[in-house]
Structure 1
């Protein structure tokens, strides 16, 4: 019987080449790969041209897709190359790790932690992706035992060993990655026996991982089984496990360890993966910091340095950075020199990075970061064939992506849509529906729709974990539209307030989910009828107004929604007078924000009758808050009264003379200074441009401010500072120039007393210091002349 074990490091190009050479020499009649046995039926897809790495096996609990695990493969992964060799030579392939069904059957500390990375021991100890993904998919940590329960109190928790780090340290290396490159990746010859010997020595001194004990017991059981039917067996697994698999252990002992494990129901498929997900511990990262570099090592065995630096120069040229052939030649020479000085068999990524920084990037880290993103990591996205088993929802999405010519990509890109075009409108609807389902393929960009515009901006970037999100969303429907409709109907039923419901109406419109309208509108009408809080009604209206305005662009029928919006505004106008009574400063500020939002929403509705009704309500409240004796038993907070007056002024409901009169009534000696300051804050919240152009208003404000009692001035100063601090710098400068030049009061020069030069002289030094310019006092008549 011939039986050979090939201990590898996952995602190692040197290991991948060595495995292919060894298999060609051995010519086994059965190949065992460390991985989930449930995926055996998917091996045949490796022969399909449409399955382009990086890809991953996705396994998830059928009844709870949140429990999910990934087993990723790159073109330079030893397991991938071994499977391709076996398929090409008609050699049967079996995954022989502990079934994933046992993993989902274990208790999980947090099922949402699936799709996280492996333990450090597995990553650096040449362990392939499968076990790592499984351990994290059930939320287990190294401290948990084989049943998923935490280690008992007082028990020493398992602490993972970094075997590659220990071997590198023993060889005098301070960087495990560099040691691995020198010993394996750059040698180009099999070192399986040496690695097995080293791992045996390390495992003899290292603590045992309870999860590894379970998995290795199962693996040994599979080996006993296949030995009965096959004589020539090849085993490709993580080098960490080879010593345990070659050790003789009684079958009874392994069976006792596995006894009592419960299975769950799981489903497997192939999904696209990205190199970016191989660089981090999250999302199953095998500790490979440079998958793009490893891809280059595997696909360009000759002229490795020159080809790499030529590619780096191309990245810089694409960004408009001049990079000549002389730069590349000099960088190659520097790289080779650094490797020779350090005694390395071949220059590695460290030498290339230093040479690139010095020669190609002129020492600029931003350029180096660009090369790191494009080449060292290399955001490559894999692909799977159409026939691969997948949930109906994922299949429908793939069909729509083809129809709309919207290809998933790993790199982020900007997508600008013109909603007057059918294709762009379809893309917009698809992206909005996916966001509803928790698939954030597209995020609204800075150029997102404006009021009444035909444009949308999106930032697109496909992430591998969206495959799990699609599985989870599959419970709502078999198509993207049906699932989004069901999801939004569920959200409408569960909404606890109007503010939660109204955004759903907008989402129905954006996603063109007409079948969801009845449920959402019914919930909206019911909630609006029962909710007596005016603040809730006011918070709900702006989203409805945006929906009605934006609906004109998309051509949707929004008659029922308009009726709801109109009824909300009527109830707001009826309830607002009672809502403004006896408010604290914080409550007044919150209500002012609601008033501003509703006022803006009225402009979007483009309905003169609704606008007049709203302005009539504001006018009634503004009179109550400004004119003494109108309604003393129902006072209006100064902040609101000032804001209402400003809105009426801007809406041409108050002419300049009436506005000045109302300001004058408030800014009198009889009005407490804090109340007057609140009124000013509300009135000027729209900006200071009004004071720049209306000198008469500025004169009223100036006269009030100069007449404030010194004791009261200390109280109102913070309010005034907050108010004027919101003005734009040019507005503040213009107002200051008017005051400094004495022109603020020129419109009413005949009605005001003459300037007292003696009093003015007292403040000139302070004004000169504050304003940074020489100040003079001149007569108004001189200004007019």
Structure 2
């Protein structure tokens, strides 16, 4: 049962090539990949034929927490190479990591955030030893633009150094124990067939040690040369999806954790974009400039360097920035000189960027160059530098295969938009006194509250006291809409349910901020969500009952009371939700006012307005709401 462990850096072209090469040579019975085990029954969806990048989006929601997690794939992701090449040689494929909602991922929105970044002291020592600015430059120097020979051993050494002897945190330990149990199951059942395990490099040393301890005499931690010595044909190609066949038995897989009772969630593929994949835009993968690495994947280091210069020049010229031929010649010469000094086989990303910056930025730079450190672009970055970073990011946006399953919200939203005539590009003016326009407005507001791009309200009523009776909207459908709707599917299966869940989340997050709470209540009115769930109503009542200041509480009460008394436009007249808010606000205002002493506090318009709103609440709603005026 030979097992080959390949530690990778996520979204690394060099690692992707290595994974593809090993799988093509060994033709393993099983290919095990770091990824959510709860979607193993749907791995086929990943292989439908999408235009990359795409991501596996997982959501989870219960009474105490909400999780949204992405596992992105692009052409040069090692995990994608493992899945596609494994499928081509007939290997059975399995994800072996805990589900995205599991507490082990608490605080991480991206499954493939580089684990070694949490051990910055090791990375700092390595960067000092190799005299580079940061881990990205170190990685390019050691891996991406270095010769391919000996890469497997180089990676193993690198990740052994990163991991060191330090104990991993609780979350990594839990994940590694779970992944090791999948490796043990596959190895036990594979017979003479190979098993290839592809995970983040940080986890590789722990998995190798675990496998060596579980399987005495097994080929744990083999190098590529050791694995190939056993014979790439020994695995028996074509093991099939169930992993059974001539190579061994069906594995007894570990149990997959199930969501707690009452929790809502699921996983679906979404289109992704290079911009969302870019570390300079906040993505946690640790690999910046996806447009550059795509070119590195397709054309090699020399082609990527040429493309980088051309992309920057083209972008700057479109922005009417002067970029002469002499500037480009100077940039290329500087990049080649830097590559030589830095010991690079060919100019790498930072060599070319430094060369371009020296040739194109004529003024002093007040903010450090972004590729000299890690993280997002800082405010005040030179405009030319900003355009350079954008050019390297690339504009690619993925597209899902038409047969890709989608959450129910996608189909419900499409139907609602088509039914209301809102599914195309348009500029609309809606008269809110007309029932048909009011219905269309409610649909648009529900979509707006879900954060779906392409639906912008240009004008309309801003509060319940606003006399505006017309709305103007601009509708611009775009490729990013599908991604947003799939992700919003975490809130509910229908537009109405999802909108109510978003409002409930906002109400809970508002806490004692009654101004924020007033906006939630007005958005509920605009979207036709007049009455909310008992849980949300309790949260709202508690927030109003704990409001610390009279002024904001009075402003909210004035708006809510007007909507409760008069509003036939949005359907909130005599709303039970607003009735609860009014009663709670009146009691809280009287309680806060009792603590105000005239000799200690001067006259204040906010306090006076609050007492006036309290008076009106008692006068117009007291009897209906059971408030005792006396």
TM-score, scaled to structure 1: 0.52
Residues 1:397 and 1:51: Cα distance change in structure 2 (over 3 Å): farther
Which residue does 2:270 correspond to in 1?
271
Distance 1:358 1:61 in 2: 50
| 8 A Cα contact 1:442 1:461, kept in partner | no
Instruction: Return the alpha-carbon distance in structure 2 between the equivalents of residues 234 and 112 of structure 1.
Output: 28
Flag the 1:161–1:508 CA change in 2: closer, same or farther, 3 A.
Answer: closer
Question: 1:357 corresponds to which residue?
Answer: 357
Distance 1:336 1:221, change over 3 A: same
- After TM superposition, give the deviation of residue 313 of structure 1 in Å: 2.0
Is residue 2:327 matched to residue 1:309?
Answer: no
Cα–Cα, structure 1 residues 590 and 205, in superposed 2: closer, same or farther, change >3 Å?
A: same
Shift of 1:92: 3.1
- SS of residue matched to 1:249: helix
The alpha carbon displacement at 1:218 in A equals 1.6
Equivalent pairs, count: 520
Q: Please list the CA deviations of residues 168-226 of structure 1 after superposition, one character each: whole Å capped at 9, or x if unmatched.
A: 55545454322321232113525343225515863895223234651453244134234
- 1:341 CA displacement: 3.3
SS at match of 2:10: coil
1:115 partnered with 2:114 = no
Cα distance change, pair 294–548 in 1 and its aligned pair in 2 (3 A): farther
Q: Give matches, 1:562-581, under 5 Å.
A: none
- Which structure is higher in RCO with an 8 Å CA cutoff and minimum separation 6? 2
| Partner deviation per Cα, 1:467-493 (whole Å, 9 max, x = no partner) | 89735522xxx3112443577699999
In 2, distance between residues paired with 1:349 and 1:388? 36
Structure 1: give runs of 5+ residues left out of the alignment. Answer: 125-141, 143-159, 254-258, 408-414, 573-578, 599-785
More helix by share: 1
Give the match for residue 473 of structure 1. Answer: 491
Change (3 A) 1:263 1:22: closer
Counterpart secondary structure, 1:32:
strand
**1:574-595: CA deviations, max 9, x gaps?**
xxxxx9x996685632348739
User: How many angstroms does 1:12 deviate by?
Assistant: 0.7
* Residues 557/5 of structure 1: CA separation in 2 closer, same or farther (3 Å cut): closer
Map of 2:290 onto structure 1: 291
- 1:94 and 2:104 matched: no
d(CA) in 2 for partners of 1:495 and 1:358?
51
Cα distance, 1:424–1:76 mapped onto 2, change above 3 Å: farther
Matched, 1:323 2:323: yes
CA distance in 2: counterparts of 1:307 and 1:329, whole angstroms: 14
Contact 1:9/1:239 (CA < 8 Å) preserved in 2? yes
Equivalent in the alignment of 1:237: 199
Query: How far, CA to CA, are the matches of 2:183 and 2:206 in structure 1?
Result: 9
Using the alignment, how far apart are the partners of 2:149 and 2:411 within structure 1? Answer: 42
1:222 aligns with 2:222: no
Question: Using the alignment, how far apart are the partners of 1:496 and 1:197 within structure 2?
Answer: 52
**Alignment partner for residue 202 of structure 1, among 161, 178, 190?**
161
Point out where structure 2 has 5 or more consecutive residues left out of the alignment.
217-252, 260-264, 366-380, 545-549, 587-592, 614-630
Q: Given that residues 59 and 68 in structure 2 are in contact (C-alpha distance below 8 angstroms), is that contact kept between their aligned partners in structure 1?
A: yes
Indicate conservation of the 8 Å contact 1:420/1:454, yes or no: yes
- Quote the Cα distance in structure 1 between the aligned partners of 2:287 and 2:439: 39
| Distance in 1 between residues matched to 2:552 and 2:134, nearest whole Å | 61
Larger of the two Rg values belongs to structure: 1
- Classify the secondary structure of the residue corresponding to 1:236: strand
Distance 1:227 1:462, change over 3 A: same
For residues 608 and 454 of structure 2, the distance between their equivalents in structure 1, rounded to whole angstroms, comes to: 31
Whole-Å separation in 2 of the counterparts to 1:274 and 1:342: 32
2:145 and 2:178 map into 1 onto residues whose CA distance is 32
Contact in 2 for aligned 1:199/1:243 (Cα 8 Å): no
- 1:147-546 matches, within 5 Å, as 160=119, 169-171=128-130, 173=132, 175-187=134-146, 189=148, 191-195=150-154, 197-199=156-158, 202=161, 205-209=164-168, 210-211=173-174, 214-215=177-178, 217-228=180-191, 231-246=193-208, 249-251=212-214, 263-265=257-259, 267-279=266-278, 285-301=284-300, 303-363=303-363, 365-378=381-394, 381-385=397-401, 387-397=403-413, 404=422, 418-419=429-430, 429-430=442-443, 432-434=445-447, 436=449, 439=451, 452=468, 454-455=471-472, 470=488, 472-474=490-492, 478-485=493-500, 503=519, 506-513=522-529, 539-542=556-559
Per-residue CA shift, 1:677-728, capped at 9, x if unaligned?
A: xxxxxxxxxxxxxxxxxxxxxxxxxxxxxxxxxxxxxxxxxxxxxxxxxxxx
| TM-score scaled by length of structure 2 | 0.63
Q: Give the distance between the partners of 2:164 and 2:571, measured in 1 at CA.
A: 73
CA deviation string 1:252-274 (max 9, x = no partner)? 99xxxxx9999333843323445
> Matches of 1:203 and 1:499 in 2, distance apart?
48
Moved more, 362-371 or 277-286: 277-286
